[in-house]
Structure 1
Amino acid sequence: MIERATPIDELSAPPAFEDLLRTAAEMDTPDGFKAELIRGKIVVSPFSKLRYYHPMRVLRERLQARAPKGHYADVAPFLFRFPEAERAFCPDLFVADGSAFEEDGRHADGAALSLVAEFTSVSTKDADWNEKLDVYGRLVPVYLVVDMQDSEITCFHDPSPHGYRARTTVSFGEPLRIPAPFDFTLDTTI
């Protein structure tokens, strides 16, 4: 008998963004995993490796000291929604307006973010450098890509409807200017 592909009836329309958000929120992901909406799909990926803890903690402390009034730096696993892009991300580290966490619900508004930092891994590097860069670049004032494989930090800033207009890359240990709303030079020694 010859095997043939059996077509499956296509969905009349892809699932709506809000339906995907609800599904992601209701998922019982294993400990140490997070669910995000990337490219219109729910993607489950592991939290960062243990060796990322120290750099994340150091960066969080340095950013908190310079955060805009009422904004807090954290690494808590919160899903930030970007409805215009139909995406929702759980950043490795974020700085956001504290009022975003006074609402009911399970997803924070991406507009509350003043900074996002993603720590690359082999499994997330593509999304961090492409998908997330595109979405954050339209709204979030500062996006840091901490490239753990290449030992570099890239600061994207000056968002626009077409993405970030400026970027600076330094090797770990070199000073990195973090623009408004932070406006300070970051010691990248980690």
Structure 2
Amino acid sequence: MPGRGFVHTVHTWVRFHRWCVEHILRIEVRIEGQVPVAPVLVAMKHESYFEAIDMPVLLSYPAVFAKIELLHMPLWGRAGRHYGLIGVERDQGAKALRTMISEAKKRVAEGRPLAIFPEGTRVQHGTRPPLQAGFAGIYKLIGVPVVPIAIDSGARYKRRWKKPGRITIRIGETIPPGLPREEIEARVHAAINVLNPA
């Protein structure tokens, strides 16, 4: 499907998914804080497929950093590239990094928010793994503010049988660009884990 028709179809489908979560699975989705609208890098906790699917409901036409393996999948990968996902090739050297940063800057120039799962993959609810090393590099090279987002979806949505209750999405304070690596990693790590048990 060409042009905006494809994007409209994606957004219709993800809104339908949110409706199913709330009305069939009986999971309330509660958003705390102000959803970012300007071009920013959203750094989000990743506990289940919920937030990966729901991202275009929460954000306006986001460009999401995704494992390159996903973009190599038949059909789905082509659709993901068409939507504007940015492939992450870990350990593939400077050329791959330059390509990724170039794509990200194009999305920023289009006025789209960027989104990344800085821990690298889905993690068990209640765990606090360190951020992947590449996050700080992306933050430095793109040069936009970071908005950290915590979510506790793993307690409700990750299981084979979903559990009624509440998923909380807590949007943290905007972090300016240009901070040292240790500071940006510490602030993002703390902010995306505020919903995890100590």
Taking structure 1 as the reference length, the TM-score comes to: 0.32
Of structures 1 and 2, the larger Rg is shown by: 1
Instruction: Point out the structure with the larger helix share.
Output: 2
Greater fraction strand: 1
